[in-house]
Amino acid sequence: MNENESFDLIVIGAGTGGNGVARMAAAAGWKVAVVDSLPYGGTCALRGCDPKKMLIAVTEGVDWARNLNGKGLEAQTSVKWSDMIAFKRSFTDAMPGRIEAGFEKAGIVALHGQARFTGRETIEVNGETLRARHFHIATGARPMYLNIPGEEMLTTSTDFLELPDRPDRVVFVGGGFIAMEFAHISKRAGAREVTVLEMMERPLGNFDPDLVGILSEATTNLGIDLRTEAKVLRIEKDGPGFTVTHETPEGKQTINCDLVVHATGRVPNIEHLNLEAAGVEYGRNGIKVSPYMRTTNPAIFAAGDCADSGPNLTPVSANEGRIAGKNLLAGKDEREVNYPPIPSVVFTLPQVASVGLSVAAARDKGLAFDTHFEKTAGWYSSLRVGARCSAYKILVENGTGRILGAHLIGPGAEEQINLFAMAMGAGLTANRIKGIIFAYPSYASDISSMV
C-alpha cells in the first residue's frame, strides 16, 4: 500500500453492515478498500448469532431427549463442551478467509488494523494515511462499561463462545437476550450453578411480560437461579474464582463462581474513530444518520449497530448497508431506509419471539384492539415434542382486523414469527390469515388459530 493511496470508497468494518456496501461499489467498478481490526466477518458470523446458534443446536439435542424421555426415547444425552466449541469453530474458523478470498476476487483491497479519521477524506491505519472520496462506517457495537469495581474481570460474550472448558459455576450480569440464551446453553451443557442477575423487575424488558413470566418459570425449572432486582455492585477475585456482590431488596448478597459474564448490553463502537476530524456527528445512540444512511458529512455513510438508526440486529444492519450502498452509488439521496415490522427472537428453549407492538405500546398509541392470549401446552404441536411451555399473545385491531403485534413462546416460535412479520408487512388481516391453507401438521398451521 502506497502512502496516501486514494480510493473511491473505504469501508470501515467487515461485518454485515459493511461487506455488502464494499461489494456493491466494487461491482460498479469503484476502487474499494475494506479495513477491520479483527478477522473479517463481523459479530454475527464470528462472535454472535451464528456461533451461538451452533451451541444451541447441540443443547437442543439435550432438550429433545429430556422432553421425550418416557415417551419412547430412551437415550439420555450430555454435552461434551470441547467438541461443541470445535463444532462451532468448524464454521467460524473458515469464515474470515472465505470473505477475504471473495473480496480479492471482487478486486477489493483487504486491510487489517484499526482505522481512525485524520480529516474529512483521510484515515490512518497502522500509521499509514489512506485517502478516499467516500467512507462507509460499519464498526458495530461493543459491551458497555458498567463502572463497577472489578469490571475488568468480566468475560465478554465473545470470550464465552471460545471457552475451552465448560464453566461449572457461572454468573451472568444482566438479563437480556445474551444472558438468557447463554445461561440456557450453560445449564444444558451441564454447568452446576448458573445465575442470572437482572437489575430490573424482570429479564428481557423488551418482550411481552406474560410470555417472559412463562420463560422465567421454565428457566428456574431448568435449574438456573434467575434473580431480579439484583444490581451488581462489584466483582472480586476469590482464589481461582470470583465473588459477585449484588444489591437486592433484601440487602446485599454475594455469589461465588468460576466465571462472570458481561451481558448488560452493547453500545456503538465509535470512540476510537476520531469522528470529529471527519465532521461526522454522533450521540449516545451512535452516529447520526439521515433516512438515507448519510452522516453529517455528506460523503460519509454509516449503517448497522454503530449508527443511530434501527434496532441492533443482523438483518437490520444488512438492510441499512444496502440502502447506504444504493444512495452512495446513485450519488444522491434516492432510497430511504424503512423498517417493516422487525421480528426478534430469544433463542432460549423454549424460544420467545416478538414482532410489532407490545400491548403497552399499542395502548400508548391509543389503538383499539383485541388481545388473543392463550397457553398452548395442550396443543398438538407442543404435545408431539413434549414441550411443556408454549403460548401466544396476538394483538388484532378492532374494525380493520390488522395484526398490530405478535408475541410467541414455544417450539416453532422462531419460524412462526417470520410468518407474522410477513403477514404484517403485507397488511394481511386476521381473516385473510385464517383463510390461508398451511401444510399440516406444522408449526405454521397453528397461526391461523391464533388470530
State the residues that interact with ligand FAD by CB under 6 A.
12-18, 35-38, 42-44, 48-49, 52, 114-115, 138-140, 157, 178, 269, 272-273, 304-305, 312-315, 317
Nearer to ligand FAD, 15 or 174 (CB): 15
The DSSP result for 346-394, as a single string, is: E-SSS-EEEEE--HHHHHHTT--EEEEEEE-TTSHHHHTTT----EEEE
Nearer to ligand FAD, 52 or 188 (CB): 52
d(Cα 162, Cα 168) in Å, to the nearest integer? 15
Identity at 372, one-letter amino acid code: H
Residue 117 CB contacts under 8 Å (≥ 6 apart), including other chains: 123, 124, 135, 273, 274, 275, 276, 277, 278, 280
DSSP 402: B
Shortest CB 315 distance to ligand FAD, Å: 6
Nearer to ligand FAD, 37 or 228 (CB): 37
Shortest CB 121 distance to ligand FAD, Å: 17
Shortest CB 219 distance to ligand FAD, Å: 18
Nearer to ligand FAD, 49 or 65 (CB): 49
- Cell numbers for 189, please give them: 451443557
Shortest CB 441 distance to ligand FAD, Å: 27
Q: Is the peptide bond before 441 cis (omega within 30 degrees of 0)?
A: yes
Asked whether 270 and 140 are in contact (CB, 8 A), the reply is: no
| Phi/psi of residue 226, nearest 5 degrees | -100, 110
DSSP 107: T
Shortest CB 331 distance to ligand FAD, Å: 24
Nearer to ligand FAD, 271 or 374 (CB): 271
**CA proximity to 109, closest of 133, 138, 140, 130:** 130
Shortest CB 118 distance to ligand FAD, Å: 13
CA 198 from chain centre, in angstroms, equals 18
Shortest CB 325 distance to ligand FAD, Å: 13
For residue 202, list its beta bridge partners. Answer: none
Nearer to ligand FAD, 278 or 362 (CB): 278
Nearer to ligand FAD, 197 or 433 (CB): 197
Shortest CB 18 distance to ligand FAD, Å: 6
Shortest CB 181 distance to ligand FAD, Å: 7
Nearer to ligand FAD, 177 or 369 (CB): 177
Asked whether 62 and 78 are in contact (CB, 8 A), the reply is: yes
d(Cα 122, Cα 124) in Å, to the nearest integer? 7
Nearer to ligand FAD, 70 or 283 (CB): 283
Q: Which residue has the cell 390488522?
A: 402
